[in-house]
Amino acid sequence: MRSVKEAWKAAVSAAVVDILAEKGADAGLAASVIPESPPDASMGDIGFPMFPFAKALRMGPPQIAAAVASRLSAGSTPAGTAKAVGPYLNVFLDRPSIAAASIAARTAGQSYGRSSSLSGSRIMVEFSSPNTNKPLHLGHLRNDALGESTSRILRANGAEVMKINLVNDRGVHICKSMLSYMVYGGGRTPEDEGKKSDHFVGDYYVKFNDLKKDDPQAEEKAQELLVKWEAGDADTIALWKKMNEWAVGGIRRTYERTGISFDKYYYESQIYMTGKEEVQKGLASGAFFKAEDGSVRIDLSPIGLEEKVLLRKDGTSIYMTQDIGLAIHRHVDWPFDRLVYVVANEQQYHFKVLFHILKSLGYEWAKNLYHLSYGLVNLPEGRMKTREGTVVDADALLDSLRELAMEEIQAKGREDAVENPMETAEKIALGAVHYYLAQATPSKDMIFNPKESLSFNGNTGPYIQYMGARISSLIRKRDKGEGKAGAGSIRPELLTADSEWELVRLVATYPEAVEQAGAEYNPAIIAAHLYATAAAFSKFYHDEPILTCDDPDLAATRLALSEAVLVVLKNGLELLCIPFLEAM
Ligand code: ARG
């Protein structure tokens, strides 16, 4: 579709240039030939407003539109016709040729919507970054959905993508879980208690609150444990290892459940020292300076901020120090062109400063660092909160969504129609949560409404899954010989109804949505396109007979269009980590 638009833009520009030249006006003005979408398909498929040329030509826009139209009709143009519609030059595309191209998507299959817009670039995407003292929560689900789908979208546009996870496995938080396990754990294991291992660790972190009541020195003891850990004390390290394995093992099971994966794991415990050397080098090169108190700092006035400490006066590092070392280390590991950090917007300052520091150190790639910043996600008041009432546990949320989906399957009496009701319920739950998270603008805070997310109607994952299942069922029926489609042949020129053209247009512009989503790191663009496509299919299905159509050619063509729509839904859902369902 884009190539058609581009060709029309070129043709209209050429006509405008000629008219400007005839009147002795500046031909450069033709740069203002900019395509728009007319509000209604009956007015045309592309509109070019003529207002920008009125002054130079001393003509009214409708007059200019008429002049451009007559010039175009005299010469050769791309397929389609141009007409003056008031102050606009509107183009009516040659629908049969676009319909034919859209229908061809059905045979392109998985490759439909892929582009080479990012071919040759190597992009590292960091996301999730859990702490090992507790299981994943709702905020991680948003982070993971955003990181995984952005990575898939970048890959669909030809980039080579490396998905990485930075596990925060050291620090006082994990020492707190360790300490309360030492006091209350009695050597028990997650298996002993039949608990998912990350929840087992998280429960000891919560129990640290009790420990503080039992032992006023608990906080200091946790700090001492961290010092022992840094000194390499064997018992401390052994317990730390064991608890980290439990935590990471459990967290990985949640990733598997949600379809999230990584190409590489980085562990803070292994890299937290690397930044120190880099800061020393920066001090030597003059990028940083030593303050009177002995700390190493950077002057951030070039970006309008205060000074920032990079190494404390006792030589210990801070969060920033570690990220400096880590970025450099990663570039050595896998020389990337771009590095994307999927991290909550509360760390905006951190990344702004980090990127500036890396540029100051002279790294060429530092100009291609990007903070994919996202907002908070909360539940509607008073729902599904954990005991502490603060975070919403990811596994518990998925379980309750699955339960609600199961109830829906039972209420609709669909247990026999779907192959495995429990599995289907799980896939619907995942579709509900991933879609709801994907459709929101990443940078904005949002409320996750579990009931709403599961609705089979409206802008939801299950609605799109349902439309996919419906088309799959139509195709199964055709393949079994139902209806007359089998006897007909595909003739794109038969697709003349408005609802058909809307579907043709959405199939044709899907690749543009994939490209735009990649350029903007924004899965919400795919979500919006899928919803529009599903809604348009629903209207088509309601308005026109498909399988039951009397004319075999029209039936065959409508089914072929439905198959093309199915390809778009399948490929788009895949990009959003939403399972496709053949039946539901
Ligand atoms: N684990 C950190 C947190 O919970 C986020 C890490 C973000 N990544 C980074 N390279 N700083 O806040």
Which contacts qualify for 330-334: CB closer than 8 Å, 24 or more apart?
330/124, 330/164, 330/266, 331/363, 331/365, 334/122, 334/124, 334/162
Report DSSP letters for 511-562, one per residue.
HHHHHHHHHHT-THHHHHHHHHHHHHHHHHHHHS-STT-SSHHHHHHHHHHH
Q: Is 169 in the pocket of ligand 1 (CB under 6 A)?
A: no
Is 340 or 386 the better-scoring residue by pLDDT?
Answer: 340
Pairing of strands 446-447, 289-290: unpaired
Residue with tokens 């008031």: 86
Q: Which of 163-167, 319-323, 418-422 has the highest mean pLDDT?
A: 163-167
DSSP letter at 137?
B
pLDDT (tens digit per residue) in 488-531? 999 999 999 989 999 999 999 999 999 999 999 999 999 999 99
Q: 406, 302, 432: which is closest to 357 by C-alpha? A: 302
Across the chain, mean pLDDT equals 94
Q: Which pLDDT score is estimated for 379?
A: 87
pLDDT, position 41: 78
Centroid of ligand 1 to alpha carbon of 268 (angstroms):
10
Residue 190 burial (C-beta neighbours within 10 Å; 0-12, 13-18, 19+): middle
Question: Residue 201 pLDDT more than 90?
Answer: yes
Could you read off the pLDDT of 537-583 as tens digits, one per residue?
A: 999 999 999 999 999 999 999 999 999 999 999 999 999 999 999 99
3-state secondary structure of 86: coil
Q: Exposed, middle or buried, 440 (CB in 10 Å: 0-12/13-18/19+)?
A: buried
CB 61, CB 74: distance < 8 Å? no
Q: What is the dihedral of CA 485, 490, 494, 500, to 10 degrees?
A: 80
Closest CA to 561 of 479, 482, 499: 499
The C-alpha atoms of residue 432 and residue 453 are separated, in whole angstroms, by 5
Q: Is 260 helix (H, G, I), strand (E, B) or coil?
A: coil
Q: Is 390 exposed, middle or buried (0-12, 13-18, 19+ CB in 10 A)?
A: exposed
Q: To test ligand 1's pocket by mutation, which of 125, 128, 129 has the most ligand atoms within 8 angstroms of CB?
A: 129
Q: Residue 267 Cα, ligand 1 centroid: separation in angstroms? A: 11
Closest alpha carbon to 275 in 309, 237, 240: 309
Phi, psi dihedral angles at 9 (to 5 degrees): -60, -40
* Inter-CA distances, 428 with 37, 91, 130, 259, 463, Å: 35, 42, 25, 13, 10
Query: Where exactly are the structural domains of the chain?
Result: 2-93
Distance (Å) from CA 287 to ligand 1 centroid: 25
As to burial, measured by CB atoms within 10 angstroms (0-12 exposed, 13-18 middle, 19+ buried), residue 451 is exposed
Helix axes 552-575, 524-543, angle to 10 degrees: 160
User: What distances in angstroms separate CA 81 from CA 12, 64, 100, one per listed residue?
Assistant: 12, 17, 18
Distances from the Cα of 303 to the Cαs of 307, 328, 372, in angstroms? 10, 22, 20
Ligand 1 proximity of 166 Cβ (cutoff 6 Å): yes
Please give the average per-residue pLDDT across 380-393, as a whole number.
61
322 lines ligand 1 (CB under 6 A): no
CATH 3.30.1360.70 given to domain 2-93: yes
Which residue, by CA, sits nearest to atom 2 of ligand 1? Answer: 129
Strand duo 289-290 + 46-49: pairing: unpaired
Two structure tokens written together for 574 = 């895949």
Rounded-to-integer distance, Cα 406 and Cα 423, Å: 9
Locate all alpha helices (DSSP H) within 361-497, ordered by sequence: 394-411, 421-439, 450-453, 461-479
For the stretch 402-444, pLDDT in tens is 999 999 999 999 999 898 999 999 999 999 999 999 999 999 9
CA of 322 to the centre of ligand 1 (A): 11
For ligand 1, whether the C-beta of 537 sits within 6 Å is: no
Which ligand 1 atom is the nearest neighbour of the CA of 130?
A: 1
The CB of 373 under 6 Å from ligand 1? The reply is no
What is the mean pLDDT of the segment spanning 24-39?
A: 93
- Which residues, 6 or more positions from 390, have their beta carbon under 8 angstroms from its beta carbon? none
Q: How many residues does the chain have?
A: 584
Query: Averaged over 120-142, what is the pLDDT?
Result: 96
pLDDT band at 374 (very low <50, low <70, confident <90, very high): very high
Rounded to two decimals, what is the model's pTM? 0.94
SS3 at position 473:
helix
Choose among 181, 362, 374, 386: nearest CA to 286: 362
C-alpha 381/C-alpha 450 separation (Å) is 12
The protein residue with its alpha carbon nearest to ligand 1, atom 6, reads 129
Ligand 1 atom 10, closest CA = 323
Distance (Å, whole) CA 403 – CA 272: 42
Nearest-CA residue for ligand 1 atom 1 is: 129
Q: What is the pLDDT of residue 384?
A: 45
Sheet holding 289-290, edge to edge: 289-290, 296-298, 308-311
Is the sign of the CA dihedral 353, 359, 365, 368 positive or negative? positive
Tell how strand 377-378 and strand 338-344 pair up: unpaired
The alpha carbon torsion through 199, 204, 205, 210 (nearest 10 deg) reads 140
- In the three-class reduction of DSSP (H, G, I as helix; E, B as strand; rest coil), residue 129 is classed as coil
Task: Answer yes or no: is the C-beta of 323 below 6 A from any ligand 1 atom.
Answer: yes
